[in-house]
Structure 1
């Protein structure tokens, strides 16, 4: 696990070493075990390593093997298969660091090697014989990679703060990008919140030759070939085998491993499979679960439960090789560690109320010596995909008998009325009907789009034509059922643009690497290639993972229809932060940028009309769980940037 930075000057520049050193210094707030830098002619590279995998002890980056030099943040999960293709003896694999494995692959296949890599990576390779620099990022964007294109130089890093340490890279906010973030549009994978810094998109490589930049896509999830098995059991057996391999790959570490675990299907599946694998080595898996500050028993809403504790204890009864740890984050608000997090990551938080418990879990992991944390964030689009859009596909194809059978079978399993669910899925795909429905329900906050949940200033939104930007990027602020469910899954899988950044900040701040077996490319390919009916077999949403984990997870988890709200005590925490929110709003009034981008009057009005109850009702949730905290966090980011503190 690494941070790195580099400068490629197109003409000789005597300041190369000093500029590289400035960038290297900017990375040092992130945790590291070793660091090194390297300069040759017009190229300078800096790297710092946080050892997590057994092979990391052999890492010596930047790694030179003429005519190439490589630097990167690399974790390769298909090491054995890759080594076999390269003709490397199995005896040599344990002492072969990931950087050298990638370099050997590049020597054999060139840029075609990136499509052969399974894992999380951001890589820079320089070919001295051609004077060519290549940057590449993994297909799901699990590792960040940023760059600046100057008139006579090219700079890159995993961190925006390292790029801003270069004296010739301007510090200017990209205000339209901030507006997109406020609208929750994260579909533009190339831009950042800074005018002069761009991002290498997932599944792409960038090539710099003779001062010219080319960006090419090397992998496309949409082109995955379908898999057709002879029986349902074959799908289960194949999926289980791939999932276990994904979890086993995530366990590759010479440091203690833990797991973030809720009472839901995704994280508990990862944790239990990992615990069973570790039991074979006599190792117990510690789990970390967030619970409310002041639990009040089994309360919640019709669709959500608030306390994970009962389900987690049920999971433990079934899988004994777990060591449970519960985290309450007592007394913390959205302002806790906010400035440090923004300084480390260089962008505003998308879900500031969730970072309260995520940070607390990461801190506890660091205290317990845990250096790798397993999670299951991408599960909703892979193994535990609900398959509900398949019903509308059956209707569109006129397969009424099969549809009626599935609706009857799933009458007790589908959320709400099956017929109403089908109606909503179908109608959402016809724009005239959606427009009419929106007109008839104009007072329903769900149909206001970003205006219902965002602190974005409407005047500024009109100036930049935010609605056209959203449409161009394929983003629907009303979150209606997609017309192409598979394409929508791929959009979510290839990342919101910030995903790799937030993963990296946790490792930098708390020395803990987050690994998600649900995002393993082998599992992703399987999940996108099988028939959608496998996910809603017999009308049961999320059928695939439920059948796969039937002998691992308790019935209370498998049959649970409600979702866990892990930040369920957010109203209490928001009330604790009210004085700071009021103070921040007063400070934001002094910022021209904040006044232009944010609807500060609306935010102030929400504070002045603080609700006394009904916190989990839709309109209150939209205003106080989404709009207000996100607006405050973006505003504080703007203010601190203008003050030179970011």
Structure 2
């Protein structure tokens, strides 16, 4: 994963060479193959290159033509289509990097060009004649881009830490951002980060900054059902499912310089990626490095372990299966190094870090995962069986109910309680009761801080996450979640970059999203099981064991409970030590966090979620303490 960075001054001053070079130095881990910056008076841009695809060997950014200057972190999947529309010959395209294609597209379509692109990308274009800067991010935000709009200048970068190399960029936490980490509101405002005056560009968005200080934000794409996929029969959706998912995977692996890696669980999403990409990679004489997070041999926990599902793929010759088994490391291990690497309060994503390290050790530069399948084309939202009854389809409900019981072996009363009744409950009524009950009091937040947030209107206290009833159901829930994803910051991609990898998610491909939202709900659940289309469309390439698999997902962190239970008390004790002058307890009720940790019982499933919240609050407290100390 490459990096881009830059500074544009609108106050007439020139950009100092040392400032832009300092940004590049901070992002050097994302540019093992080349690092270059260019200064043109009041504008400076830089690029750190990591070669992943064949076209990357043609890159020589920043790209300049005397008027325009462009930098991009990009993989463009529709190069041939763009070339035809731009009037480029095959020979011309063969010698063009992705950044050169982007510049040609910008010249042709102007600021609307992003709507014509397919792929993962973030870009910046400086127009010296118009004195405007255009920033853009791909549809689902797989590549990150942050910026600070200061007094007379704008700075942007692929990671937050590079912005602090520029004089005038504040290094402060945002109270509203901290409040959102504690309360977990349903809605995310555009661009907000945990840092004051530092914004993240949303996915599917371009931002134009002009010399007079004005900015204009344009959403060029939002998650939606493609009209081309609406209103068809089952045969169409089976064909479309296979074609679209196959192309989303294939375009990520067909032009690679090295064999890719895959964060692998043996489930339908990562399993489909493996089965599709495997033969393509095998055609180059390589194998996919499939890294699975599993428990140690013979260990058992109350959550599902992926080992058996992963082993079902052992006969596939194009997979190099590797296991990550947690040792002594955990989310609190080297926590301050993790804060610096990710610019985030999540602590040490130790499982992903361990998987990425294994992948990188094989020479891979691209890592894929199956994240996103559950809310695009493989909907697994709760109470899908009850939805059939809610729609009044009684005969189908009875048939599917019986098949559900046979497929899962679950008692009828359990199916009614967990998969039927929740679909019949009045969501609006429960949401009103939730608002009246002040559910924010369930969060370990300092009440005085909560009052400040509520009084300032920074967070809607009537729209906080609540475990009993969803705020939306089924397709509405998926659409809402997809919109949130476009506003999310790429934590896992930033972590992958720290380990020398580029992360891409095929199920976040816009084509997959637009198909998923068009699939009729009758195809979400069939024969007593979810993922009907995946089971049918890929029946010839997936293991029989997976095709017959009962519902549920295997945990990527199967040892999470015991790891947190063991490590959280010491991490919280260190947070208390850092709480000098109440700088942490002004936000968090640390006593309550301590009780949540102490009272959690591994045998009680709700306690797993409670302990996870306590762990996140502990890492947030440590992050605030670390950040404040690093500013001193």
Q: TM-score, normalization: structure 2?
A: 0.91
| Aligned residue among 381, 385, 392 for 2:379 | 385
Report how far residue 405 of structure 1 moved: 4.9
**Is contact 1:140-1:495 (8 Å) kept?**
no
Partner-residue secondary structure (3-state), 1:643: helix
Task: Spell out the pairing of 1:410-429 with structure 2 (5 A cutoff).
Answer: 410-413=404-407, 416-418=414-416, 421-429=419-427
| Cα RMSD (Å) | 2.9
Instruction: Check whether the contact 1:258–1:285 (CA below 8 A) recurs between aligned residues.
Output: yes
| 1:582-593 alignment, distance < 5 Å | 582-590=572-580, 592-593=582-583
Match of residue 357, structure 1, among 348, 351, 371: 351
Match of 1:325 among 322, 325, 329: 322
Aligned-residue offset at 1:356: 1.4
Rounded to whole Å, the distance in 2 between the matches of 1:582 and 1:530 is 46
Residue 640 in 1 paired to residue 626 in 2?
A: yes
- Could you tell me whether the CA contact under 8 Å between 2:386 and 2:422 is conserved in 1? no
Aligned to 1:202: 203
| Distance change (3 Å), C-alpha of 1:225 and 1:392 | farther
Match runs of 1:164-243 below 5 Å: 164-185=164-185, 187-209=188-210, 210-222=212-224, 224-225=226-227, 227-228=229-230, 231-243=233-245
Q: Report the 3-state secondary structure (helix = DSSP H, G, I; strand = E; otherwise coil) of the residue aligned with 1:135.
A: strand
Partner SS, residue 311 of structure 1: helix
Correspondence for 2:111: 111
Distance 1:88 1:76, change over 3 A: same
Relative to structure 1, the CA distance from residue 578 to residue 476 in structure 2 (aligned partners, 3 Å threshold; closer, same or farther) is closer
Query: Which residue of 2 is the match for residue 621 of structure 1?
Result: 608
Quick one: distance in 2 between partners of 1:15 and 1:473?
46
Aligned partner of residue 525 in structure 1, secondary structure: helix
Whole-Å separation in 1 of the counterparts to 2:325 and 2:572: 25
Is the aligned partner of 1:493 residue 2:482?
A: yes
Other structure's SS at 1:130 match: coil
Q: Kindly tell me the number of residue pairs found equivalent between the two proteins.
A: 624
Task: Give the 3 Å change call, closer, same or farther, for CA 91–487 of structure 1 in structure 2.
Answer: farther
Aligned residue runs from structure 1 range 421-500, under 5 A: 421-431=419-429, 433=430, 451-452=441-442, 454-465=443-454, 471=460, 476-478=465-467, 480-483=469-472, 485-496=474-485, 499-500=488-489
Change (3 A) 1:589 1:282: same
CA contact (8 A) 2:140 2:485 kept: no
State the match for 1:556 in structure 2: 545
Q: Is the 8 A contact 2:287 2:320 kept in 1?
A: yes
Once the two structures are TM-superposed, the CA of residue 64 in structure 1 deviates from its matched residue by: 0.8
2:34 counterpart residue number? 34
Aligned equivalents of 2:417, 2:575: Cα separation in 1: 46
SS in 1 for 2:583: helix
Question: SS where residue 60 of structure 1 aligns?
Answer: coil
256, 259, 271: which one aligns with 1:256: 259
**Deviation, structure 1 residue 395:** 5.4
Q: Say whether 1:369 aligns with 2:363.
A: yes
TM-fit CA distance, 1:471: 4.2
- Partners of 2:272 and 2:399 lie apart in 1 by 29
Q: 1:410 to 1:599 in 2, by over 3 A?
A: same
Q: Which residue of 2 aligns with 1:68?
A: 68
Q: 1:267 to 1:327 in 2, by over 3 A?
A: same
Matches within 5 A, 1:252-331: 252-292=255-295, 294-296=296-298, 299-301=300-302, 304-305=303-304, 307-317=305-315, 319-331=316-328
Return the offset for 1:150: 1.5
**Residues 183, 275 of structure 1: alpha-carbon distance in 2 compared, 3 angstrom cutoff:** same
Q: Which moved more, 1:400-409 or 1:112-121?
A: 400-409
Please tell me whether the aligned partners of residues 523 and 532 of structure 2 are also in contact (alpha carbons under 8 angstroms): yes
Matches within 5 A, 1:592-603: 592-603=582-593
* Structure 1, gaps ≥5 residues long: 443-447
Deviation at 1:230, TM superposition (A): 5.1
Task: Give the aligned partner of residue 445 of structure 1.
Answer: none
Q: Are 2:343 and 1:346 equivalent residues in the alignment?
A: yes
| Residue number among 527, 547, 572 corresponding to 2:562 in the alignment | 572
Secondary structure, counterpart of 2:284 in structure 1? coil
Deviation at 1:412, TM superposition (A): 4.0
TM-score between both structures, scaled by the size of structure 1: 0.89
CA distance in 2, matches of 1:160, 1:390: 40
Q: Contact 1:187/1:473 (CA < 8 Å) preserved in 2?
A: no
Report the CA distance between 1:291 and its aligned residue: 1.3
Give per-residue Cα distances to partners, 1:145-185, cap 9 Å, x unaligned: 11111221122111111111211111111012111022334
Residues 223, 526 of structure 1: CA spacing in aligned structure 2 closer, same or farther, 3 A cutoff?
closer
1:410-445 alpha-carbon deviations (Å, 9 max, x no partner): 4545884257523312314232x5556999xx9xxx
CA contact (8 A) 1:188 1:473 kept: no
Residue deviations 1:505-558 (CA, integer Å, cap 9, x gap):
233311111121111111221112222222223453221112222222223223
Q: C-alpha offsets along residues 261-298 of structure 1, whole Å, 9 cap, x if unaligned?
A: 11321111111211132233332222111112x4435x
